[in-house]
A and B are shown apart, each in its own frame.
Chain A
């Protein structure tokens, strides 16, 4: 039982490049979330999903897209990376009944 895993752990991009971050969970959770964490800002919700095939915007969705084609995977895409997207990205999941969220180890992204 690996819990929530994220790929990759680190990435450096140049402005304008694109990439996809992968989140996978093996707990059969319905809900999945993408957050970014910036110094002094706390964690902020980017997008979330309440089930396979559904996604919704969070607090800071601009510049990001997501997809939930399989229940266990939640992908975060950056189509044209900007330096303002330099951050640590966390994925989380939770089951339908309880509200306790379980977090992945994070992806540290630097956009030059």
Chain B
């Protein structure tokens, strides 16, 4: 059974720092991996989707990498801002989308 783990569960950093969020999964037979952002009391916003054949995807200050063989993905956020404060979720697609429990990020001024 596919399991997705995100470490750390919570992270607090000063504005301007570059940071890395981690996601690991137990079964490498995935179609893709998707990173989401969730603001308190809100829905999920898709940030990046990496197909299984890809190694990374970039969008603005965000860069996500995928290493299927080791069952890992990282989300790199450059020059963090207070507006980046949210919970970040990763999810892998095998026959269904399986979510991690998220990393709650706080960026303080």
Contacts and interface: CB of A to CB of B under 8 A. Distances in A.
A72 to B, nearest CB: 18
A41 B101 contact: yes
A74 interface: no
B7 interface: no
A61 B44 CA distance: 21
B25 interface: no
B53 to A, nearest CB: 13
Given A42-B89, A43-B89, A100 B96 contact: no
B23 to A, nearest CB: 12
Main secondary structure of the interface of B (DSSP, over half): strand
Nearest to A108: B41
A99 B95 CA distance: 11
B31 interface: yes
A42 B100 contact: yes
B93 interface: yes
Contacts of B31: 99
A101 B97 contact: yes
Contacts of A102: 46
Contact of B43 (A33, A41, A42, A103): A103
A90 B49 contact: no
B49 to A, nearest CB: 5
Interface of B: 4, 31-32, 34, 36, 41-46, 49, 89, 91, 93, 96-97, 99-102
Given A101-B46, A105-B43, 17 more contacts: A40-B101, A42-B99, A42-B100, A42-B101, A42-B102, A59-B96, A99-B31, A99-B32, A99-B34, A99-B49, A101-B34, A101-B97, A103-B36, A106-B41, A106-B42, A106-B43, A108-B41
